[in-house]
Amino acid sequence: MPKITPPWESKRKLLVKAEDETDPRFGHKPNERPIQEYVRFGVINLDKPAGPSSHEVTAWVKRLLSLGHAGHGGTLDPKVTGVLPIALEEATKIVQALLVSGKEYVCVMRLHGSAAEGRVRAVLEEFSGTIYQRPPIRASVKRRLRTRKIYYMSLIEVAERNVLFQVGCEAGTYIRKLCYDVGEALGCGAHMQELRRTRAGPFTENEGMVTLHDVAYLQSLWQETREEGVLHKFVKPMEEVLELLPKIYIRDSAVEAICHGANLAAPGVLSFETDIKPHDTVAVMTQKGEGVALSKALVSSEDMLKMDHGLVAKTQRVLMPRGVYPKMWQKSA
């Protein structure tokens, strides 16, 4: 099968179409938001422990931080550990961006019979590419046959009938079912013994991940000291979720129109990244780096560069509350 590049390995360049000044009176750079806004628009890269469900872990974080609302970015089974992004308050609008950003796991697969290491390695590599997969019986979605992208499946170690491997895949891939299918291909059968998620979109286990104990301790320390640096140790701006999405940067005068649900027109565009294709999910950003909306691209990067009028992206999910930037579309008409 042809190799598919993982989203985290894609390299894009910024194309500048026009230049404009941003008014410092409106909005904030994500890392410089006032502390209450910082939490409301924050996300936590949490190391989920084995035992509780993803929903229970999210509820604990919500309770620890005294929040009204929180959500997680991709369900992990109770026994599965690893990267579980937790979006806080307003940032819950952004978790759908993780659906197009890919996942990575380290898995222990138990073979039901003997298989040579070379054979195991070859079969794992055969699963790289686009595969067909039907969700398992216990899945919370309809058991329809669907396609999923496997970026890579790399053998790490074989110890008797235990196989340790790493897999990078599209969101919504069932690793338990993948192990079953690998076992069928090997002819001996197999099941998933243990699983850990090491990446969810831009979030990895090696960068800024915290445990529930860390969250409890740092939240207590914040309550005691009120030092903003303490919160910054475990809460990150929601814009980090958008890191792997192609971006379009817009004028201040276009921001409030997008916040009211308007689609993005060419005159509002200042710069954008390369390799945008029609129907791609893109992040619409302010010049300060704030997330404004998740949108569907209507044209390619090449066409966007040439356009002076017409729509370039259709707004699908507004991220920024209304009123952060003033209404300016009537002035610019």
Number of H helices, E strands in the chain: 9, 17
- Which of the following is catalytic: 20, 23, 77, 275? 77
Distance CA 79, CA 293 (A): 35
Nearest C-alpha neighbor of 69 from the set 44, 54, 89: 89
Which helix (H) or strand (E) segment is 179 a member of?
helix 175-186
Three-state DSSP state, 227: coil
What own/partner pairs with CB < 8 Å and gap ≥ 24 does 8-12 have?
Answer: 8/101, 8/102, 8/199, 8/201, 8/202, 8/244, 10/244, 10/275, 12/246, 12/273, 12/274, 12/275
Active site residue 77: yes
| Longest CA–CA separation in the chain, Å | 73
Q: Are 93 and 187 in contact (CB under 8 A)?
A: no
Q: What are residue 298's phi and psi, to 5 degrees?
A: -100, -20
Distance CA 169, CA 125 (A): 13
Q: Which of the residues are catalytic?
A: 77
